[in-house]
């Protein structure tokens, strides 16, 4: 079955530190891959997406993600975290076309001063 796994439920980092959020997918072929962010009380907002081509994808708010086919991973990174990055982050995947998007269970990021 198609699935998206985010192994870390909760992560705490210090402001200014680097961040990496993990995401693994299980699909028959390389899916379309997404990272969304949800701030408290808000809907989800797209950070970045990967369809094909360059495996390092740049997104908004200084985030980037790297697609690694051999590891079935699409990890999200940021070199220096800001307090405003505290939110919940969702990895998602789809086979495209009329296939639905499958979301991971989310990773809640806490940023400490």
Partner 1 sequence: DAGVIQSPRHEVTEMGQEVTLRCKPISGHNSLFWYRQTMMRGLELLIYFNNNVPIDDSGMPEDRFSAKMPNASFSTLKIQPSEPRDSAVYFCASSLSSSGGADTQYFGPGTRLTVL
Binding positions for partner 1, rule: CB under 8 A: 32, 34, 36, 41-46, 49, 51, 90, 94-101, 103-106
**How far apart are alpha carbons 84 and 60 in whole angstroms?**
13
Beta carbons of 110 and 11 less than 8 angstroms apart: yes
Please report how close the Cβ of residue 10 comes to partner 1 at its closest, in angstroms.
13
CB of 90 to partner 1, least distance (A): 7
DSSP assignment string, 27-58: -SSPPEEEEEEE-TTS-EEEEEEE-SS-SEEE
Cβ-based nearer residue to partner 1, 44 or 109: 44
Closer residue to partner 1 in complex, CB, 69/100 = 100
Minimum distance of partner 1 from residue 43's CB (angstroms): 3
**Cα atoms found within 13 Å of the Cα of residue 18, Cβ hemisphere only:** 5
CB-wise, 3 or 14, nearer to partner 1? 3
Write the CA distances from 35 to 98, 101, 112, integer angstroms: 19, 12, 23
Which of 44, 57 has the CB closer to partner 1? 44
From the CB of 72, what's the least distance to partner 1, in Å? Answer: 18
């Amino acid at each position: 079955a198609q699935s998206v796994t985010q192994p870390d439920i909760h992560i705490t980092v210090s402001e200014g530190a680097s961040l990496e959020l993990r995401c693994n997918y299980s699909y028959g072929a390389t899916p379309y891959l997404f990272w969304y962010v949800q701030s408290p009380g808000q809907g989800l907002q797209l950070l970045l997406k990967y369809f094909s081509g360059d495996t390092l994808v740049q997104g908004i708010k200084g985030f980037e993600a790297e697609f690694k086919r051999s590891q079935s991973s699409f990890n999200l990174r940021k070199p220096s975290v800001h307090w405003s990055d505290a939110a919940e982050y969702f990895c998602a995947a789809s086979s495209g076309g009329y296939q639905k998007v499958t979301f991971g269970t989310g990773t809640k990021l806490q940023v400490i001063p």
